[in-house]
Structure 1
Amino acid sequence: MPIDDTQAGSRPETPETACEVAAPGSPAGVKEAEDRRPQEHDLADAAAKGGVGEVAGAQAAVVRDAEAHTSGADAPPDGPAQLATHHANGLVDQTSYMPVKQILVVMLSMQLAVLLSFLEQTIVSTALPTISAAFDDGRSSAFVPAMYLLTSTALQPVWGRLSDIFGRKYTLLACMSIFIIGSLGCAVAQTMLQLIVLRGLQGAGGGGLLTLVLIIVSDIISLKDRGKWQGVTEATILVGNAIGPLVGGAIAQHTTWRWVFWLNLPGGGLAILVMAFFLPLKAVKGDVKQKLRQIDYGGALLTCFATVLVILPLNWGGTSFDWVSGPVLGCLLSGVVLFGVFILYEWKVAKIPVVPPFIFKNVTVSAIFFTTFINGACILTQVYYLPQYLQVARGYSPTKSGALIIPQLATTTIFVFFSGQLVSRVGEYKPSICVGYAIWAVGLGLLSTLDEKSSIGKIIGFQLVNGAGQGQTLQTSLVAAQAAVARSEISVVTSVRNFMRSLGGTVFLVIAAAILNNTLRSQLTSHGFDSSTISTVIDDPASIWTSTSAFSAAEKTQIILGYVQGFHTLFHVLCGVVGLDFIVAVLFIKRHSLSRGDEEALKQRGKEWVSHRKEKKRAKHGGDAVDQAEKGEKATQE
């Protein structure tokens, strides 16, 4: 029997009490609609009068009346109380379940956008030396990848709420347009400063793409079937992150680095055209001024500034400034304080908060946010440091190193699909999540044993185990979070979940570099290397293979051994934090029903809506044909 969180926004205790909304047209449905009309009329009157107090009073009356019908632990997550609050805030339910044919068209158009967004996270990693040489500015080059991650992370919660206000389609098109404009600017940048600033603009759009795509998937596909389709998006993310270094290296080697950004223009343009014409989502109608008043400007600015003030000094530390310097510590402290102010503002001031604080009362949702933070940390760390291990410890080229992590990508993708199918068939997500974390921890433990002599078979085999576990935790965790909340809260939960994953990856890359570099520094110091040589090795470990005259054979061996020790330490830490994820999943992720009582009615309504759109198009084309015929007839008569 599913277990309830017994917290705000949680699912009901049993499938029998789960959100049984009457189907349209049924006696119960007619009765429910009639009961809601006076409430909606009161809210509309209050809004028309323009008084914030009147709207709030009407909202409170509606909620009190709704709670009289549904209260306590048995209150359905999409019941009258939740719907009343949602409508009183002026937000529209954008659920629009679609037939499989329409889903395929929508998914194909959106996956191209996701692929380009995640390709840009890692594509510059192998092209960075070429970019640094072109601008003769190696010290600032680290901000080229960092700025994209910074802005894409900071704005994710904001994009989710904006899509509630302005509609999914227009918000998604806005994100794609910003991403393309940023890409164009990067391609023509004339200085390193211009490139860094425009990478920030590119990231601002790119960060919203994944959030919007996953929210749209939840709008058009039922909860039980959602895992299968969300797995497609997760697989696209993995492909984008994995092939980014390969594509970037190939571009840097065979043509100008500017093609790293030029390639987004044709791909992004195609994605915009397909989404504009073939994305049949419901429009959110209403006055633009009213929508602009609904935006939580204070919350949006606070979350962005707080995120920037936390991430920026993590990139400064050890490069631009010492870790204990004023700029680093001052920014970190300011960021933490601003996050506290943000929480208070959202709790006490915001009318439609970017991140409603009550979602953290839900035990399952909070557990998913924590485990997703660790997921992002481990996945991005593996993407960066597995290829580096192959380059430093084995002397492989960047292209060969990138190719050797494809087995992990393939296995992860297979198990993403497998777990999605399994969850949809059996209606259970928790076993997949827990087993996935257990296998993932074992895989990371195996990878931590790799050294300079490990065979290719070991390298590939250990990655297969790692990918099998990793793949079972990605989309299933999102299904768990969405199952634990009301439909009106899914967009917020999805955007915050993605924010936590991006934040985890961004923060832990800095921690990973500190772990590996400090271990390497300690090992080399104990073998008598001077500080300048150690700094050279830390800045570019792979240089021991490219600069053959710089190090003797004995020195090269010591550097490799020191690096391998750092790699071991790093992957021991990753193994430990994924083990912590396993414990959190077992103890705090609750089981919730994936069946909601109104989903069959919503599916039928979706089919009817799609059919209605087709009929309108046919009627329009038919009318145009009649008009053309009449014009032709008049011309003939004249």
Structure 2
Amino acid sequence: MDETTPLLLRNQSHALSKKRLLAVFPALALIQFTSFLDQTAISTSLPAIASALDTGASISLVGASFLITSTSIQLINGRLSDIFGRKAALVTALCIMGAGNLWSGFCTTPLQLFVSRACTGFGAGAINALVQIAIADITTLEQRGYYFGMVGMAVAFGNGLGPVVGGVLTQSFGWRWAFWFVCPLCLAAIAYLSSVWPSTPRYDAGRSNISSRLKLIDWPGAVGASPARAGTLLLPMVVAHGLTSALTGIIISATGRYKPVIVFGAFCWVSAALGKLFLNQTSEIWKVALVGVLDGLGVGCSLQPGSDTENRAVLTGLRNFVRDLGGATGTTVSGTTLSNLLFAQLQHRFSPEMIARLTSSAFALKDLGLTDSERRLISGAYMNSLKVIYVTFAPPLHRNIRQNEYLESDNCQRYTSVTMPPPKPTRFNSFWSPLMLLWPAITIHWATFKEAFRTRGFAALWNPTKQLEYGVASLLSETSEGFIEYESTTVVPSLVKQARGKILELGPGPGNQIHRFDPDLVESICAIDPNPNFNDDIALKLQASALESRYKFVVCGVEDSDILRAEGVTEGSLDTILSIQVMCAVNDPRAIMKEVWKLLKPGGQFIFWEHGKSRDTLTSIGQTLWNPAWSTFVGCNMNRDIRGAILAAGEWEGLENVEETDDPLTFLPRFWGVLVKKA
């Protein structure tokens, strides 16, 4: 395609005869009626939905997710209908709305319902505008008011009947039918519209296929694009903004933490501002789209509520005032800067009148009879001027990141009444639960890297494994008290107290179990860990125990037989091997467990409290999705078959005593027991 390629269909306005209009208009009225019927029908079904899916206070997200996507699609669906045609756009919107409602009726978790309603919103939001556009196409100016009034009646009927129909269906057949009943209406509307809508002539028969139309959605006026093409530059940002606004609200509701979302958004915003500096007239479309996506992510994540209840009304008004003030100031300053920079670059080649005309719009280039070299000169001047403006965005956005460091890190629970019962665990909440530890882990790794880079410079990059080990040790050290407190509510204390005789403790970390050993049963403890960064924590905890002379920390793994032999640990020499959340972090659990079995003497006991792959299919899929980040920053794996590795190590007694959690939703399903090596 070049600049002479038509972007849109020929003019789609074609007033119909009264007879034909009477056939076509009911189709549009039915579509609009169906759309508003869908929007309001679930209002009376929400209590039943909240009870069935146990959504709690997050039930409001059913409507919020729908409204966010239906609003975000408004900016682009008209232009898409110009490219693909009104009928194709309406049929697609009806298909999306029908499919979304069908999906909503089959939802079994709050997350599925929120996402399905967001998808439905794309279709319903597009319909509302497309029907009005279509009416304007097929009616004259004199007829238009009458037919818009008739559509208003369809809207009123949809709004009025929706709650009634939804309530009756929910009471008679269940809440799922409040979604499903829309599907046959969508099919009827599609069939009716397809049969009566007049065909639109194509501007080029050779370009009537879908692939050629998709090519018309161009992203490339500083690069010489037409207004319509330049307008599509907003697509990545608008879509990313709409989806992110919906998802971030869901994430905050699930995790109760808003600071990570806001900080992530600020980083995306700065990245977008800096990314614009690398764009030019020949930049590939994917680069422009990527910058737009980062912009959308930044806006969608950054504008989150984080104020106290008593200040929220005032601060919301202040936020809106500052936003509008910034928009007005930014537009004025940017426009003035652009004019001055263009004048400085072009004054030697063009008259002030010509520069003034160019300043008003880059789209004027094609109407001025300029040569190719002059177009390139002007386009380059525009790009250079815009980069100067983009540079000015980066410092305040960077300042935004620094200010976000002062946000309180506590969760959103402080804004809820203390009389509210804690929310019941749901699959949706469980899916986001790893963020509660993953985000602090990433923060600690970043802090340790900055310190290493400050002291050692680029040498800190030469050994990433060593840096990760130090980061994991710092994480476990900082969270030690929290883990000790949590494990005190489990069977861990009773398990550790059973350790006796000559003991090998695997992966002691910062020494969380030292205070739990029974000194009267302990002959000696050899604690081994390949991470050398736990010495100080262990030494500190030993000072407060009665085991200081009988406890030794050795930097090695269970497979390092030479080092263990020097410590008196050989095959068949140990009374007890203790493993508390260790097998998830070793390289090969099955190989390690075989070594464990060999080191135990006959009758020796293997005491363990581990976590591994969930037996629940959906949870195990979630574990696989989270595991790359979890294993990198937390230092262990979620989705290993640790139980199988333990049981397959050798012949054990006490297999019937192995217990496990019965929670299918947790991403860290625990199992524990005391196994005895058969004599």
Q: Same fold (TM over 0.5)?
A: no
Bigger Cα Rg: 2
Whichever structure has more helix as a proportion of its residues is 1
Whichever structure has more strand as a proportion of its residues is 2
TM-score (normalised: structure 1): 0.38
TM-score (normalised: structure 2): 0.36
